[in-house]
Structure 1
Amino acid sequence: MNNITTLLTIQDVANRLKVTPQYARKLIKEEKLTATRIGSQWVIKPDDLDAYISKYDISIEPNDHARIGTDIPDIVALSFFSGAMGLDVGMRNGGIPAILACEFNKYCRMTIDKNEPDMALIGDINKYEPEEILKLAKLPPNRKVDVIFGGPPCQAFSTAGARRALDDERGNVFLRYIKIVEEIQPTYVVIENVRGLLSAPYPYNDISTPIKGGALCIILDRLEAAGYTISFELYNAANFGTPQIRERVVMIGKLGNKKVSYLSPTNAENGCYGLKPWHTLRDAINDIEGKEQHYIEFPEKRLKFYRMLTEGQYWKNLPPDIQKEAMGAKLKLGGGKTGFFRRLSFNRPSPTLVTNPTMPATDLCHPTEDRPLSVEEYAKIQGFPNEWKICGPIKEQYKQIGNAVPIKLGEAIAKTILADMNGKVFSPIPGFSYSRYKNTSDVSWRNAMDKKLKKARAEQVNEQLSLSFD
């Protein structure tokens, strides 16, 4: 039985739910939260607040906290920029579970706490020193960290963004991640990022003007100076069992002078090279057809164009006189300047998942229904297990899933590291292309970059000579 001393005020409720007092009052007005007015203020019974949390399956942003258990796993791994934990789930499935997650976004933090409540959780990477991180992970002083993995915010390096690279605050967070690696010195470090990392411009050494690839040169120099030998490649996740065409740079650094193998593909388009064929959209979402799903309806102004498309078609398949109108409508409704504007095919992998704050499932339409893919379908495409709970408003759920690393790609990374630990080397398949692009491996990219640097230095010398004669 509740007495006056246990009743909660509006501010108490707001503090517990981590919302504003105005939002707490809104819950009362909408009769979602039972409250009683005493004098000039509302009061709430603790049992009624618990009932609201249970009925609506409310997730509350967790505080930073230490790991619950004290047992030390055979392989100690720490996760940074964990997001909705796509990379974490993949690494765990491949045999390398993390004992600590680092994530700043509050909705992602809710997702982490909902699914992995026992692991340590920290927020802003800039607020923690390495010794504090190890303490929260409950590691004894003499226990070495085996693996640190993460995908530092990629917007600073994205070809679609402003590409301010290391001058951008998020680019500096990238360097903070490297600083932690330098000080903790794990045996292996993993960096996952967008293709734009390979060409992000930045001044490098004696080259004063930004040069494409300069940012990666600085990152590699830092890691190599810390004692790591680096291998990297641009990988299409479809080649590892993901029913999605999504290309990501994966870097693996190992302490010492031996390089880790490239990832070993399990699938190939049309099943060539003796591998399994790419998985399709039907493979991914077939088992949730008919189950409850959540999505945001397309506006009617956009639907009229989708209805002109059949399975597998996109905006260029519209009549020529309609294409300009369709893309104009897309821009007015919050879509980007470019995009798929595509009705998906059941018999192909999904194109890269696109997320946009104003239209979360921006340009990918269900093959047979006039609606975007649901949150549940997106999660299946990324490979999340059915029981995985994505928290937050539906727009935030779309964003979390779209930003996640495909689970199967994470599995391939873990299996490659475990193989290296056991002295096994994966031999590349002759003629196999990991992605659609050239000069994307640590070897081919470095050769191309050396030529680019040589040319840039020559041009800079010529420019300086020209200025001296003026």
Structure 2
Amino acid sequence: MNVLHFKNNSQNRDVISLFSGAMGLDIGLAKAGLNIAIGQDFDAACVATMRANGHKVLSGDIRDIDPADLLEQVNLVPGEPFLICGGPPCQPFSTAGKRLGINDPRGSLFMDFIRMIDYIRPRFFIMENVKGIMSAPLKHVPLAERDKNDPEQQLGTVLDVILSEFQKLGYKTVYGVLDAVNYGVPQFRERFVLIGSRDNENIFMPIPTHFQMHQNASYRWQTLGDTIRDLEYDCGECAAFSKERLSFLKLIPEGGNWRDLPTDLRRIAMGGAFESGGGKVGFYRRLSYNQPSPTLVTSPVQKATMMCHPTQNRPLSIREYARIQQFPDDWIFTGTSTEKYRQIGNAVPVGLAEALGKVVLSVADQNAAIQTKRFRGTDVHQKLKMALEIGGSCYAHK
């Protein structure tokens, strides 16, 4: 079987999406010019959302899916798909909590992502996750039991295993942590991204397109006001804060948090968290129209990660959540309110996804760079290059 024949078929841009969720990643890739042939997810609400928006879906646990059956669904053979994309469940690799990593059953799902790549042999793949995957230990050892002299505890990270597996499959990879705000998304949201090339092509991380400072307004970071101000009095379906929490939030100015409460109320409002460490910036947080949104979480009403509207005494609505993640206004989300918030909060922002799609297309079409005989103005151009790299740290791996 010749897996390289795809390079002769410039019109084929078929994508197989795994762990698709509400399809934020897929919408962005489609905007870049790719064709989402099929999506997959285990979550019933996500599957219903994909179908409600007219997309072909394979429902079920990826551990039970035969890649041959997946290819048959879209009438493709190994080596033909342009791209496989997906974000295996990331809770085990979060920087919060126990970080069980590969010891968590969900953490092993990235091996099924690799299994799909191994059989299907797409020209490219994109894998996204939380940035904690870069340092998540392969073996979780409770802090009290850690011994730096124990060789069994020096097993490396989950990322080491992922990179090693893709290297065995013959894929060239590049990875890094990207902040969505640098790609036109009105939200600070750092995500780990790994891009792979089957054919040893010159892949790279997307270059930032938006900046905190720029002489042209269209290239500056997008703010919350730019994105949701028109929904202020027409927000649609929305969660609610408890009466007690709302009584404190009413005292918080736009852009403030619990530290802006009267001194005598801070301990009362915070409860046991008052004595805990950390910045605690998410407690009684009221957002600002003049800044990008903080990272959206799966619920806007949790005590430590509140997402209170800048001027209204309510959390961000489902429709506002979707705007911040850049879903189309007519995108249909199914399920309960809790399920809708979770689907949107877990999604890849559309703008970041579009930038990723444009990267693989530019690599495939070999038009990503302007070739010159000489790089003039070395000092000036090096400073510009450093400015561009604020989008995140990038790492190459072969």
TM-score bucket of the superposed structures, by smaller chain:
0.7 to 0.9
Kindly indicate whether the alpha-carbon contact (under 8 Å) linking 1:78 and 1:147 is maintained by their aligned counterparts in 2.
yes
Kindly indicate whether the alpha-carbon contact (under 8 Å) linking 1:76 and 1:147 is maintained by their aligned counterparts in 2.
yes
Tell me the TM-score normalised to structure 2 length.
Answer: 0.84
In structure 2, relative to structure 1, the CA distance for the partners of 1:94 and 1:360 (3 Å cut) is: farther
Out of 41, 48, 62, the residue aligned to residue 125 of structure 1 is: 62
Structure 1 spans left out of the alignment, 5+ residues: 1-71, 332-336, 447-470
Question: Does 2:23 align with 1:85?
Answer: yes
Query: Structure 1 residues 265-274 or 233-242, which shifts more?
Result: 265-274
Distance 1:324 1:360 in 2: 14
Aligned to 2:71: 134
1:361 deviates by 10
Query: Structure 1 residues 214-223 or 165-174, which shifts more?
Result: 165-174
Out of 293, 296, 302, the residue aligned to residue 239 of structure 2 is: 296
User: Matches of residues 339-418 of structure 1 in structure 2 within 5 Å?
Assistant: 339-356=282-299, 359=302, 362-418=305-361
SS at match of 1:191: strand
User: Matches of residues 10-49 of structure 1 in structure 2 within 5 Å?
Assistant: none
Question: Does 2:153 align with 1:209?
Answer: yes
In structure 2, relative to structure 1, the CA distance for the partners of 1:385 and 1:182 (3 Å cut) is: same
SS at match of 1:163: coil
Distance 2:44 2:300 in 1: 16
Aligned to 2:271: 328
Distance 2:22 2:189 in 1: 17
User: Matches of residues 57-68 of structure 1 in structure 2 within 5 Å?
Assistant: none
Aligned to 1:431: 386
Distance 1:95 1:326 in 2: 49
The AA in structure 2 aligned to 1:383 is Q
Asked which structure has the greater CA Rg, the reply is 1
The AA in structure 1 aligned to 2:33 is G
Residues 141-177 of structure 1 deviation map (CA, whole Å, 9 limit, x = unaligned): 4761110001110011111132111121111111111
Distance 2:311 2:300 in 1: 25
User: Number of aligned pairs?
Assistant: 362
Kindly indicate whether the alpha-carbon contact (under 8 Å) linking 2:300 and 2:307 is maintained by their aligned counterparts in 1.
no
Distance 1:201 1:207 in 2: 13
1:433 deviates by 6.1
Identity %: 38
1:82 deviates by 0.4
Structure 2 spans left out of the alignment, 5+ residues: 1-9, 141-149, 275-279, 371-381
Distance 2:176 2:53 in 1: 31
Out of 57, 68, 76, the residue aligned to residue 14 of structure 2 is: 76
Out of 187, 193, 201, the residue aligned to residue 129 of structure 2 is: 193
Tell me the TM-score normalised to structure 1 length.
Answer: 0.71
User: Matches of residues 215-294 of structure 1 in structure 2 within 5 Å?
Assistant: 215-271=158-214, 276-291=219-234, 293-294=236-237
Kindly indicate whether the alpha-carbon contact (under 8 Å) linking 1:302 and 1:329 is maintained by their aligned counterparts in 2.
no
In structure 2, relative to structure 1, the CA distance for the partners of 1:272 and 1:129 (3 Å cut) is: farther
1:290 deviates by 3.7
Distance 1:360 1:106 in 2: 27
Distance 1:360 1:403 in 2: 19
Residues 207-261 of structure 1 deviation map (CA, whole Å, 9 limit, x = unaligned): 52155x6110000000011011111111110000000011001110001334412
Kindly indicate whether the alpha-carbon contact (under 8 Å) linking 1:94 and 1:414 is maintained by their aligned counterparts in 2.
yes
Question: Does 2:386 align with 1:442?
Answer: no
Aligned to 2:47: 109
In structure 2, relative to structure 1, the CA distance for the partners of 1:107 and 1:279 (3 Å cut) is: same
1:271 deviates by 2.2
Kindly indicate whether the alpha-carbon contact (under 8 Å) linking 1:157 and 1:165 is maintained by their aligned counterparts in 2.
yes
Aligned to 2:88: 152
Kindly indicate whether the alpha-carbon contact (under 8 Å) linking 2:254 and 2:311 is maintained by their aligned counterparts in 1.
yes
Kindly indicate whether the alpha-carbon contact (under 8 Å) linking 2:202 and 2:363 is maintained by their aligned counterparts in 1.
no
User: Does 1 or 2 have the higher relative contact order (CA < 8 Å, sep 6+)?
Assistant: 2
In structure 2, relative to structure 1, the CA distance for the partners of 1:436 and 1:265 (3 Å cut) is: closer
SS at match of 1:100: strand
Tell me how large the CA RMSD over aligned residues is.
2.8
Kindly indicate whether the alpha-carbon contact (under 8 Å) linking 2:37 and 2:74 is maintained by their aligned counterparts in 1.
yes
